[in-house]
Structure 1
């Protein structure tokens, strides 16, 4: 039973593909006809091209009928010349690829090595910057601790007499040595 369903689905898919390709072909033909119907230049070019092709084919057929072996030899010669020219072109392309390919591979290797150097240098710089950041943090902590120690020393309760308290408000009196 499942095999029959699979076959039916396959046939439906093939049928849909056939309909789609037919629709595309018909659409292309209709589009071409509309272009030819509306465009005088396109019609003229089509007529000229068709006439030229017809004349070329007619001339070739008459040449082959007149001298079949000569036409065959001429065709074989042209094919051999074309094959020779194509072979030369392919050899030249291969030669270019070989020389340029080596240059490209060398340049790619150089770029790879330079990229690795750049990455290594960037990592080193990052580590050095981290060390600098640690030193800056340490300096900040030291300044913060010093400021806290000074603040604690100036605000700590003292066992002073009433006269010393009056001196605190007097800006001309300094506690401790003056340098």
Structure 2
């Protein structure tokens, strides 16, 4: 078992070496095939070399001053970052309160609307019941009238029959007897 553990780091080292070699080969291939990439890399490398050389020269000339300048820039950056974070927090707090307030208003208005709709629904149900009651009343009244009309017609039709009988009997007396 100890032998296997020793081989694992060795295999990891070989894998890292293989990956690095592949990346280096790819970079070299790009540089050989693309002359503009070569030129750009040369210019960037020269610019970086000059900047680093200047920085090293400044640090060698005044190590304490370079350190103080670097610390000052870091502190200024941290201060600006803190101000930005505070401003963001302030905006979130203010906007968050406003959004919460507006959401509460919308919720209350929605509840009022639902309540009003329920009340209207109940009122409409009452109106519907009244309409149904009126319809039933009309239907019953109509049936009563139809029944009255029918009995009246029967009575009227009976009256003319009676009148006919009366006329017949009267006409019978008026007409000559054969």
Task: Give the TM-score of the pair, scaled to structure 2.
Answer: 0.55
Superimposed CA distance per residue, residues 71-121 of structure 1 (whole angstroms, 9 cap, x where no aligned partner): 866764553243123212212113203322321232023113202211221
Q: Tell me, which stretches of 5 or more residues in structure 2 are unaligned? A: 1-14, 160-178
Q: Unmatched 5+ residue regions in structure 1?
A: 1-17, 168-179
Q: 1:136 to 1:120 in 2, by over 3 A?
A: same
Relative distance call for 1:156 and 1:60 in structure 2 (3 A) is closer
4+ residue runs of structure 1 moved beyond 4 angstroms? 60-68, 71-75, 157-163
Whether 1:149 and 2:140 are equivalent positions in the alignment is yes
Q: Counterpart of 1:106?
A: 97
Quick one: which of 145, 156, 164 aligns to 2:156?
Answer: 164
Q: 1:160 to 1:139 in 2, by over 3 A?
A: closer
Q: Deviations over 1:50-84 (max 9, x none)?
A: 11122134435655787772386676455324312
Q: Of Structure 1 and Structure 2, which has the larger fraction of its residues in helix?
A: 2
Partner residue, 1:55: 46
Structure 1 residues 47 and 133: CA distance shift in structure 2, 3 A: same
**TM-score normalized by the length of structure 1:** 0.55
TM-aligned CA deviation for residue 151 of structure 1: 2.3
Give the total of aligned pairs.
135
Could you tell me how far apart the structure 2 residues matched to 1:115 and 1:57 are? 59
